[in-house]
Chain A
Amino acid sequence: MAERSFAKEVEKLRLGNGDTFRGEGILAITKALLENGVGYVGGYQGAPISHLMDVFADAEDLLSELGVRFEASASEATAAAMLAASVHYPIRGAVSFKSTVGTNVASDALANLASGGVTGGALIIVGEDYGEGSSIMQERSHPFAQKSQIWLLDPRPNLPSIVDAVGHGFALSEASNTPVMLEVRIRACHVHGHFDTKDNVPPSFTVRDALENPKRKTDRIVLPPASYLHEKEKVEQRLPAAIDYIQEHKLNEHFGPDQGDIGIIMQGGMYNNVMRALQRMGLADLYGDSKVPLYVMNVTYPLVPDEVVDFCADKKAVLMVEEGHPACLEEAVAALLFKHKIKTDLSGKGVLPLAGELTGQVMLDGLRSFITTHAPHLVKDQDRAPNEPQLRPQPELDDTVPARPPGFCTGCPERPIFAATKLVEEELGPHHISSDIGCHLFSIMPPFEIGGTTMGYGLGPASSSALNAKGARRSISFVGDGGFWHNGLTSSIGNASFNNHDGVTVIVDNYYSAATGGQDILSSRANNKSRNTNNPIAKAVKGMGVKWVREIDNTYDVVKMRETLKEALTTDETGPKVIVASSECMLNRQRRERPLKAKAIAEGQTITQPKFGVDEDICTGDHACMRLSGCPSLTVKKLDDPLRDDPVAYIDQSCVGCGNCGEVADAAILCPSFYKAERIHNPGTAHKIWRTLSSSFMSWLQARRDRKSLRFEA
């Protein structure tokens, strides 16, 4: 994998009995899988679970020693379908992806899997990308678990609890013949902590064993009449079995006193935040000793009715702490209390906000309000009537601090594609533009502001499919190489080809699944020893029946990009027009090339290092170049010159010399301020002679002119 090497992390996977693992939550899960005899692992990268995929991809040797099969799945649907290996065979399998987006893609396979049920433990590790820093729509994975009847674990966010949940997840799955979803929130995935490790356990039944001893049972396949039986089996056999397991192994936890007027029920994932709020109110200490009874649901589906009823029955009021919308747990608890005729007052949404992340302050406010209402004697005066300074409005800050959304990196090869698109729109007028998922979605932000919708991974061109009318202005759709292979080839390109859609599709090929951390995909240019790469996108596109295909192998050529796009928008040819625009992700390229270059320079090889610059006397400070770039290294600088009111353009030291600004200045005919300065390390003799001669020549001419004019020293 290109973005970084995980060799150090792979070593952590080899820790055994008596060792301590130190690291991120998601890597702890990776280790826990091996400790629990997992037989195969798959998944699709995406924050916050990318590292799980990356580490496994780098752990090829260890996995083959243990006899564990690992696949970097083509999509989440592929990953979920992979769990079919646990339907008939007693193999433990785990797959992982970003949720809810990945769960959406996987749901077809998940529903089929859950219907027939499993023999070997099947674990679906979902990285819940919710709240601050999330890049996706704000939804919950919970309803997926409910609708397909997949058990949902939501462990307390510390490494030992998460690791335990992996072991119990497999066992629960096997005890109830049901797949289990392990939900880990974004911060828990990236939390740094410790746990005591155990030896890795090779799978007792491997995929090889399965292949050599194939099995089938018709009643596990989703087709009538078996499918009707599955539904009954789910509620009559698998649910009770699961509840038994959860109770017997005490997966849900109680903290604080046995009795009390009030109690708090929470998802396991909310535990640390609830504890912090209680600490701040003086109702708990730093080590979790609470004055309020707490019931922590490390399993949020199914509920254990007896546990819920017992916890609530002797209390006057109970608060359900549940993050996100809809309030699945609160409604389920309310139904239980109603059915059992329990008069306990249930609070939840209302005291806590209906939607949004339960951040520290939100939790504190919610708990304070709940406890003040129902157990005022527990509340200190200062909490009942907080006297602490509220967040003062700071209008001058609000007017000053600029928003800083994510954007293209320095030297990103996608920037010139959108600069070209902006230039085309200036010339041919605005077009309907559909975006996709990936780094290229940053095009919707200033300075480009290109793209109207994003409908899902690989679905950019598909989302333009209605917008086709003979002779009308054509739609433009973007899709990345990641999205293209994930789903785009069939759902977008195949669809456009089959339906003779006239729209233009730009496939942004940066050689990796870049937004998720630079993983290799089918068209990656790297030679990956365990994966099949170097499969050209254009070949696949042509294979889908597309006739008009153009390949641009240097996206920084803005003029060519612009002309190709114009041709695609204006050609008489019917059917889809596909432009494959390829240049390597600069982040990955720098990671790959920088150490090599440094080494070559040290060894005395001739290496050219480009950097761009702006002549500050020539720049007039109109910033037109920045409206076509947004590159972090192209920025503004205030000159010392009292004659200049506005700052001029300036290229800082982070410039990687990609050439975009010079190309844009040329293509858009902006200004002559840009120059490229190539520093040549260890130049050859010919160049040295040339440089000496040309320097003397220039100096002679310069001195000649200086002698005749008035010059000012700065």
Chain B
Amino acid sequence: MAQDQIIKLAILAVGGQGGGVLTNWIVDLAEQNGWVAQSTAVAGVAQRTGATIYYVEMAPQQEKRPIFSLAPSVGDVDILIAAELMEVGRAIQRGFVSPNRTCLIGSSHRLHAVSEKINPGDGRAEDQVIFDAAHKSAQSVLLHNYDRLAIQNGSYISASLFGALAASEALPFTPTQFEAILELSGRAAARSIAAFKAALKAEPLTAPELSEQTSTAAKAQGPQKLMAQWDALQQRIAQLPNECQDMALAGLKKSIEFQDVAYGEHYLTTLERFARKVPAKHPDILTELAKHLANAMAYDDLIRVADLKTRRQRLTRIESEVQLQSADGLKLTEYFHPRAEEICGLMPPKLGRWFEDSPKRFAWLDRRVNKGRRIRSNGFWGFSTLYLLGGLKWWRKHTLRDQIERDHCAAWLAEIERHLADHPDLALELIKCRRLIKGYSDTHHRSLSKFARIFEHLPLVANLPDAADWVRRWRDAALMDENGDALDGAIKTVEIALKGPPDA
């Protein structure tokens, strides 16, 4: 049937990815090898970072001109190229991938949509869902991180996807014929061909790539005395239940980096105290506690920020990020905006409170400190300032902030302890609530208030058999928006369920 002599190819891309370039190459490829081709695109605002679609049809050259369609149809696409993983999903959703005919080529990398990024928790879509759907929906599947292949070769994803198309053998053209098109593509031809060849050889992925977990077997360095203490601490970690040892080690490292070895020991002692109380059936409680206790103890104060900003590894990381060559120069600028709160936090508790308790005094201080400060962190003055600030660790335990954090942490641990024996599920959920606390200044304040709201309303549900479920739901709700509106709704739901509507 004449139908069979036509190849239908759709490209789904995100505006700005160069879908038009790829489309033109495919048309050229067909036309230079005895086929006729037609392409269409919907240019316009979608090209401004939105999901966009290109469509190509081709047929062998004949006396008569074929009549091509201007848009892809559901269930009528032979080759589907998606330049991003969620666009693979969108293609399947829209019905452009059929199990009996479609060769699906997709890049497994992610360009996160705004909705995924603005979530205060983890709003990212699950890659595995797309991999599963791809393998269920297509006749053949080629998924790989084609974006990375392109970047590694100094090129753009259009070139590596062109390579993937050649690798799929879904078009009746040879890789040499593909390459010939790229050779005509101008100044960047060599790099395009390199990316093309890398994609041609690439082994398809069958599952999402996992970010490599760095081994928690920490290689420590330091003076002899500290190393001896470190060895002793490691011995103690080995006494903890197996399941939580990795996490405890990571937590220990974090608390030592935050302050010193003694602080690390304090962390470990607390953990050991809980290890004795956690019911044996619930080793995950200790793992989660190891995680969140470390985060709670290594709070974000000015000293920590300044310390991290002056580390050697940080400079190395930035240099590689901007691809600094040895002959280049580098200027680093930090965006600081301290407020009176942070300064009070650095003061001894009594002095800090003296300022905080009087709006007038507080405003006086705020006027002096509250402004944006650009700090040249690899210049003499800027670096010295941060270095000195980062060296204030010895002073930390005398600060107001430390007292606040210690009290907050102690109250949290006490609440967990209260439920540990009778209600281990609830204790676990309460531990996980620590995840809510994050950010600096107002964001930090808002996150603390969400955390506080859950603990304030805990008595409402604490005696219910499904208390843990409620707390989990509250926490999930709290992670949905910045101000905790969803959390308030979830709490209200419980209140109404227990007491009936307010006016009833």
Contact = CB atoms under 8 A, between A and B. Distances in A.
Interface of A: 47-48, 129, 132-135, 157-158, 186-188, 190-193, 271-273, 275-276, 279-280, 282, 285-288, 359-361, 364, 388-389, 391, 394, 396-410, 439, 442, 445-447, 515, 559, 608-609, 611, 613, 615, 617-618, 620-624, 626-627, 630, 632, 634-636, 638-643, 645-647, 653, 662-663, 665-672, 674-683, 687-688, 691, 693-695, 697-699, 701-702, 705-714
B3 to A, nearest CB: 6
Given A272-B68, A613-B321, A709-B260, A640 B211 contact: yes
B70 to A, nearest CB: 4
B99 interface: yes
A108 to B, nearest CB: 26
A617 B253 CA distance: 13
A406 B48 contact: yes
Given A397-B93, A714-B214, 14 more contacts: A135-B44, A192-B27, A279-B2, A359-B71, A406-B45, A447-B118, A623-B118, A623-B123, A653-B151, A675-B318, A679-B324, A697-B383, A698-B315, A701-B387
Contacts of A683: 327-329
Interface stretch (B244-252, B396-404, B451-459, B492-500): B244-252
A403 B115 contact: yes
A435 to B, nearest CB: 14
A287 B68 CA distance: 9
B52 A710 contact: no
A712 B220 contact: yes
Contact of B122 (A399, A630, A647, A678): A647
B213 A286 contact: no
A710 B256 contact: yes
B93 A394 contact: yes
A420 to B, nearest CB: 14
B43 A47 contact: yes
B113 interface: yes
Contact of A646 (B122, B132, B223, B379): B122
Contacts of B24: 192
B430 to A, nearest CB: 15
Contacts of A611: 321-322
Contacts of A647: 122, 124
B279 interface: no
Given A359-B71, A559-B372, A641 B250 contact: yes
B440 A632 contact: no
Contact of B221 (A396, A643, A705, A710): A710
Contacts, number: 389
A529 to B, nearest CB: 27
Interface string B323-337: 110011111111111
B45 A640 contact: no
Interface string B92-124: 110100110000000000011111111111111
B489 interface: no
B44 A677 contact: no
Contact of A186 (B42, B98, B212, B335): B42
B378 interface: yes
B443 A407 contact: no
A49 B212 CA distance: 49
A258 B92 CA distance: 41
Nearest to A701: B387
Identify the 5 closest CB pairs spanning chains A and B, nearest first: A360-B73, A133-B42, A680-B329, A406-B50, A683-B329
Given A708-B223, A714-B313, A190 B322 contact: no
Contact of B120 (A157, A282, A401, A623): A623
A709 B440 contact: no
A669 B335 CA distance: 10
B129 A397 contact: yes
Contacts of B227: 710
Contacts of A398: 93
Interface in B332-359: 332-337, 339
Contacts of B122: 645-647
Nearest to B88: A401
Contacts of A190: 40-43
Nearest to B111: A632
A275 B67 contact: yes
B65 interface: yes
Contacts of B378: 694-695, 698
A190 B318 CA distance: 43
Residue in B43, B133, B214, B447 whose Cβ sees the most chain A Cβ within 10 Å:
B43
Contacts of A666: 335-337, 372
Given A671-B439, A694-B379, A361 B74 contact: yes
B38 interface: yes
A669 B441 contact: yes
A675 B216 CA distance: 28
B486 interface: no
Contacts of A272: 67-70
A190 B40 CA distance: 6
B196 to A, nearest CB: 20
B64 interface: yes
B204 interface: no
Contact of A402 (B2, B125, B256, B304): B125
B6 A286 contact: yes
Interface residues of B, number: 147
Nearest to B302: A672
B219 interface: yes
A135 B50 CA distance: 12
B305 A618 contact: yes
Contact of B126 (A133, A360, A400, A645): A400
Interface string B28-57: 000000000111111111111111110000
Contact of A400 (B129, B313, B321): B129
Nearest to A438: B45
B477 to A, nearest CB: 15
A521 B97 CA distance: 44
Interface in B50-91: 50-53, 59, 62, 64-76, 86-87, 89-90
B437 to A, nearest CB: 8
Contact of B308 (A48, A408, A617, A621): A617
B334 A675 contact: yes
A273 B69 contact: yes
Contact of B331 (A132, A403, A671, A680): A680
Contacts of A360: 69, 71-74, 76
B380 A697 contact: yes
30 contacts: A129-B44, A158-B65, A193-B38, A272-B70, A286-B6, A287-B2, A288-B64, A360-B72, A397-B92, A402-B115, A404-B51, A407-B48, A515-B45, A611-B322, A623-B117, A623-B120, A627-B482, A632-B49, A674-B334, A676-B333, A677-B322, A677-B332, A680-B330, A691-B329, A694-B383, A701-B384, A705-B390, A705-B391, A710-B226, A713-B218
Contacts of B391: 705
A173 to B, nearest CB: 27
Residue in B41, B304, B384 whose Cβ sees the most chain A Cβ within 10 Å:
B41
B66 A287 contact: yes
A693 B333 CA distance: 18
B276 interface: no
Contacts of B268: none
A635 B117 contact: yes
A699 B438 contact: no
Given A133-B46, A404-B51, A687-B329, A711 B221 contact: yes
Given A624-B482, A636-B117, A364 B291 contact: no
A359 B38 CA distance: 17
A136 B261 CA distance: 63
A260 to B, nearest CB: 20
Given A406-B46, A646-B121, A694-B379, A711 B222 contact: yes
Given A391-B74, A400-B130, A710 B230 contact: yes
B310 interface: yes
A672 B335 contact: yes
A678 B334 CA distance: 12
